[in-house]
Structure 1
Amino acid sequence: MFGLDISDVIPVMAASSAFIAVISIWRVSVEFKSPLARKAKELRLRENAMRRGYIKPEKRERLLQNKRENIVKKVVTKLNLMKSAQAERMEARLAQAGWRGKEMLMNFLFVKLCMPFVGGGVALVILWLKDGENQTTSMQLLIVLAGVFVGYYLPELMVKNKVTKRRLALELSLPDSLDLMVICAEAGLSLEATLKRVAAEMALASPELSDELALTATELGILPERRKALENLAARTDMPQIKSVVNTLLQAERYGTPLAQSLVILGEEYRSERMMKAEEKAAKLPAILTVPMIVFIMPSLFIVLLGPAIMQGLDSISNL
């Protein structure tokens, strides 16, 4: 075929396979970069933004005002949603969920504004598809109001769920990070260098905690008060465990107390607390499994044990 025999086709196919393999490996290495490199790039961008905010605030404000506003920013600005008390509360909640910045707050407020209309529209579509005309007017109104209600509270429920998952991830990885901080502190590293090192080591095991520690290390080198950077860490996480760590770090910064010994005690305490929670969940399993056993296992067991006797009884009655 085309003047080629099998001895010519085999080398061409081998070369093609090798070329495709090299291209595939190259694309994977380009598209899927290391999470450490991606996190380092994000931190550099965030650090540059913070430096612009503290060093040249007037120039930064002028540049922001000259930018063309998009639809989300126009709507939020027109309705003064950023100046409401809810905006301050939700900004803290979004930070606890890992979504920081004014842009994320504006997007959330815009979504929260639109979702009631979306929920009501979905309810109307459901009524139209399910022949809602047969329902009474009060029932139709109730369904639409239920859609509006669900649309209004759905964004907050999503944020709450994200905060819960993030706190659980931080709680599970905190003892290991404290052990790494102890090693760095005993090696003579400064607090900023310790946090950067631990953040780099925990990037794969716990991206959430690595992000928080890296941001705290960046703020320690930028903010005029080092105490404010540690307080921001406690405010972003809103966890008693991390607040205790922050108080320990503040005490070490202020009075020069030995940091490594305090972190060792905290690490052992949190590890014991984590083990106690696991044992508590294990102790609850028998009570939790009682209902599934009654609902799913007992009926099958009764059928297997009593089924033959019932069938024999029915046969005896039919013979009579």
Structure 2
Amino acid sequence: MLAQPAGPTILGFDVLFVGTILVAVAAGAVILAIYAAITVRDPMSKRVKALTERREQLKAGIAVAPRKRQSVVRRNQHTDNLTQVLGKFRMLQDSQIKAVQQKLFQAGVRKKEYAVAVIFARLVAPIVLGTIVGALVYWVEYWPEWSSFKRFMAFAAAVGLGYKGPDIFLQNMISKRTDAIRKGLPDALDLLVICAEAGLTVDAAFERVARELGRAYPELGDEFSLTSIELAFLTDRRTAFENLAYRVDLDSVRGVVTTMIQTERYGTPLASALRVLSAEFRNERMMRAEEKAARLPAIMTVPLILFILPVLFVVILGPAACSIADAFSGGGPAGN
């Protein structure tokens, strides 16, 4: 029997196989986009539910200061099971739980019991990924041409990714939420200045700003609404401001919190202090935009060399190269 001719290849890869994978990825992306468009939900309902739960907690007298928070999370069956498993491995420490809880708050997750789940994921994910990759590399020998060093590095990378994966995912959520809050903070301070000059109290001003900016900046509106609720129910107003700095990983918010605490303590004019902060944050945002614009030429150099210049050379020199090739392959003048 004659051997089937091999298909076309590019850089050693089968073109038909690569094309099939790309078509499958494109089809999956289209299905995911359709599913996301059909199952879109209103984020306001989730925000209202979370704020209502916090209001009920404050009414019941559960709220405490961040530095006095208890290390014991809210009890339920799943949390108890995970706590028992982690307790056997001596991986459940109070300082570790508090650090994870603060990261969850900064990521916008209000459930404190999820801290135990994050710590449990650090324990389970390296074992699962390491077992899968180790079985593929050493037992099944899916890549038989790999050397021992490559196999060990693949196994170590799987274990490391499993251990750092939950932290990377959580840090990504924190970064996105922090960037969204940073963008809306100057506008929020301007509205706070207007509310303060109009004679509104601090908690009413926070509630008004949260209602005005809830659609444009939902993350900032959520934090301001929660701060307004805590200002209305907590006995110590400083605790409400400290909770805002505890939930947002942003130096600008800490500066606003410090200004609000000093205003409450010494009775200094709130509108003038917030106006200075707003101007400073706007200048900072403009400087950040100018910095990104200055980095753009350096960032565009590599795509320009790899993708744009080769195409430009083909378009410009291609017709000339074809004409030269035709002239040399013609064999001389037509009359000979």
TM-score over 0.5 for the alignment? yes
1:259 is aligned to 270
Partner of 2:179: 168
Q: Deviations along 1:194-240, whole A, 9 cap, x unmatched?
A: 11222222222212112211222222234342212212211221312
Provide, for residues 90-130 of structure 1, a one-character-per-residue CA deviation record: whole Å limited to 9, x for no partner.
Answer: 22222221223421211211222211122113314543666
Alignment match of 2:317 (pick from 281, 285, 306)? 306
Give the corresponding residue for 2:160.
149
Q: Which moved more, 1:256-265 or 1:268-277?
A: 268-277
Identity %: 41
Q: How does 1:64-75 map to 2 (within 5 A)?
A: 70-75=80-85
| Cα shift readout 1:20-53 (whole Å, capped 9, x = no counterpart) | xxxxxxxxxxx99865454333222123234342
Aligned twin of 1:246 = 257
Q: Cα RMSD over matched residues?
A: 3.1
- In the alignment of these two chains, the number of paired residues is 285
Match of 2:99 in 1: 89
Q: Give the 3 Å change call, closer, same or farther, for CA 296–158 of structure 1 in structure 2.
A: same
- What's the CA shift string for 1:36-77, capped at 9, x where partnerless? 45433322212323434259xxxxx9xx67978653343234
Alpha-carbon distance in structure 2 between the residues aligned to 1:101 and 1:33: 20
Q: In structure 2, what is the Cα distance between the partners aligned to 1:253 and 1:222?
A: 16
Q: Which amino acid aligns with 1:177?
A: A
Unaligned runs of 5+ in 2: 1-38, 65-70
CA distance in 2, matches of 1:282, 1:191: 38
Is residue 47 from structure 1 mapped to residue 47 from structure 2 by the alignment?
no
Comparing 276-285 with 170-179, which one deviates more in the overlay? Answer: 276-285
Residues 79 and 113 of structure 2 are in contact (CA less than 8 Å); yes or no, is this contact kept in structure 1? no
TM-score, structure 2 as length reference: 0.73
Instruction: Within 5 Å, give how 1:1-320 maps onto structure 2.
Output: 35-36=43-44, 38-50=46-58, 51-53=60-62, 70-83=80-93, 85-124=95-134, 126-127=136-137, 131-132=142-143, 135=146, 139-318=150-329, 319=331
Q: Residues of 2 paired with 1:235 and 1:83: CA distance? A: 20
* Unaligned runs of at least 5 residues, structure 1: 1-30, 56-60
Query: Which has a greater percent of helix?
Result: 1
Aligned residue type for 1:117: I
Distance 1:192 1:284, change over 3 A: same
After superposition, the C-alpha distances for 1:236-265 in whole angstroms (9 at most, x for unaligned) are: 213121111112111210111111122122
For residues 97 and 68 of structure 1, the distance between their equivalents in structure 2, rounded to whole angstroms, comes to 22
Distance 1:132 1:84, change over 3 A: farther
- Please identify, of 281-290 and 307-316, the stretch whose mean Cα deviation from structure 2 is larger: 307-316
Query: 2: CA distance between counterparts of 1:112 and 1:269?
Result: 40
